[in-house]
Amino acid sequence: MAAFSSVNITITTMASSSSSPLFTPPTIKIPRVFWPWQKVKLGPMTVSPMGFGTWAWGNQLLWGYQESMDTELQQIFNLALDNGINLFDTADSYGTGKLNGQSEKLLGRFITEFQGDAARNNIVIATKFAAYPWRLTPNQFVNACKSSLDRLQIEQIGIAQLHWSTANYAPLQERALWDGLVAMYHKGLVQAVGVSNYGPKQLLKIHDYLKERGVPLSSAQVQFSLLSMGEDQMEIKSICDSLGIRVIAYSPLGLGMLTGKYTPASLPRGPRGLLFRQIIPGVEPLLISLKEIGEKRGKSIPQVAINWCMCKGTIPIPGVKSVKQAEENLGAVGWKLRPSELDELEYAARDSPAKMIQNVFQTA
N- to C-terminal Cα distance for the chain? 33
Secondary structure, 3-state, 64-106: CCCHHHHHHHHHHHHHHHHCCCCEEEEECCCCCHHHCCHHHHH
CA 251 to chain centre: 8
| Catalytic site includes residue 185 | no
List Cβ neighbours of 269 (8 Å cut-off, separation of 6 or more). Answer: 64
Calpha distance 259→211 (Å, rounded): 39
Q: Which amino acid is at 44?
A: P
Catalytic residue among 94, 185, 250, 262: 94
Beta carbons within 10 angstroms of residue 132's beta carbon: 16
Q: What is the dihedral of CA 247, 253, 254, 255, to 10 degrees?
A: -110
Which residue blocks in the chain are alpha helix, DSSP H?
A: 60-63, 70-82, 102-113, 117-120, 138-152, 171-186, 200-212, 231-243, 271-279, 284-297, 301-311, 323-330, 339-351
Distance CA 246, CA 318 (A): 16
- Distance (Å, rounded) from C-alpha 315 to C-alpha 309? 7
What does DSSP say about strands 157-162 and 124-129: parallel, antiparallel, or unpaired? parallel
Residues annotated as part of the active site: 94
